[in-house]
Chain A
Amino acid sequence: MNCEHYMIRQISLFSENKPGRLAALAKACQEENVNILAFSIAEADGFGVIRALVDKPDVAYKKLTSMGFNVAFTHVIAVEMKDEPGGLYEIASKLSDAGINIEYSYAFSGKSKAILILRVDQVEEAIRLLISHKFNLIATDSIQ
């Protein structure tokens, strides 16, 4: 099994914690016709990290870097989750049993299903584990 197939490139941005930074990112994506599929903001004391899944990561990277942003790629995995009580537990417990640590995570629920985005310490192990338990992982080429 090719794990890379499921390793989605997430864009991360270093941002000062002040008004206008998310707007700047959003405007840049609009100008480059980049669609943001999901995003989260992690906040620390005085600064934050904006993380986003986009359909054209390379275009977004180039644009944001040229604007002076600190940008990095990180591999995350996106897994379909039942949109009902216990849906998150199913996934989290499997990872926990295998000793895989979730560094951070964010999720959204759409019309038909929910998606859980995970950054874990052992990416390939997590992909194998989840697939072996018949979870549906989002393939990179289906969105990017």
Chain B
Amino acid sequence: MSEQTISSTPGRFGRLYQGLTSIDFVGRRKIWFTVSALIIVAGALSLGIRGFNLGIDFKGGSSWEVLAPHATVQQMTNAAESAGLSQPTVTKLGSSTFEVEGDLNALSPSQQTNVTDNVVNAMAKVAKVNSNQVSTSSVGPTWGAGITHRALEALIAFFIAVLIYISARFEPKMALAAFAAMVHDLLVTVGVYSLFGFQVTPDTVIAILTILGYSLYDTVVVFDRVRDNSRGVLNNGNMTYSEMINLSMNQTLARSINTSLVAILPVLSVLLVGAYILGATTLQNYGLALFVGLVSGAYSSIFIASPLLAVLKEREPRFKDLRLRVASRTDRLVLTPAAAAAMTNERGTTTREAATGTARSNVIQARARKQKRR
């Protein structure tokens, strides 16, 4: 072999970059499934015991915000209490924004207006600004339920539309696997919110819906490659369905990692710059849910959706047969993406001849098939 470029053994990143990975995603599925199951069970337990940390949008209540660089939490608390707000919660957001929360829903509407105005004036006085500089928000006790209801409607409609679309464009089993990955992301995000006591707001609900779209987007890209390969590579008869999925996964791994990074970087920036430094709560709410969900979504499209698809497909008679036939062959190959690319060319799907020699010998890595099945 004239394998100069390869024998220099690139590092992990280099192997990914050059398409030399051959990670057995399907074979190790029990590890991935167990990790996810643990997180989901922990989340479910926490949800059962502690529930959610619901924001005022769900409980009902009022909140006030003002920019007051020179005030203290104690001053704000005193001001809010003397203005007639019982048990106010005062938090400092970012470097200079103060948020006061309290519940006025027990009062009559006119009293609510009065107390709201009093608190506005009191906070403006502490912050030494005009009362127009104080932001207010008041939420009735049924608002959150309404939002949740709409979100559930959107969620169900989305699930149905997605199942139909993937079934039509790809196939029903892929729809099922993609659906499972989405449910996984939903459960993980919900569980993480309960576990860490992050506050749930309507923004969180929106963000979760977005994540599901994104997770699916990620999965669709991988499945698109699986579909391509199931036409090409599979017909050779020297690869089982699972191995074909592994190949597809390794082929799209660089993409998956890049895409996830590219998606997570701005969201992380929203979370850090927007929320913690500058104290914009809406950004913080979105950023947190998106961050948790994107990480889960990146994980599920790699480690849940595709292995699950392999499990589902391997039950079909023709792929069982294929598995038997493949097992009887001796010229088994575990392909790296680079090797598979070279093979496609070798089979003559195009007429290019230049440079194939080096490329092919560079990258095919023959390797004994693992006998052990976990």
Physical interaction between A and B: no
Listed in ascending order, the chain B residues whose CB lies under 8 Å from chain A are: none
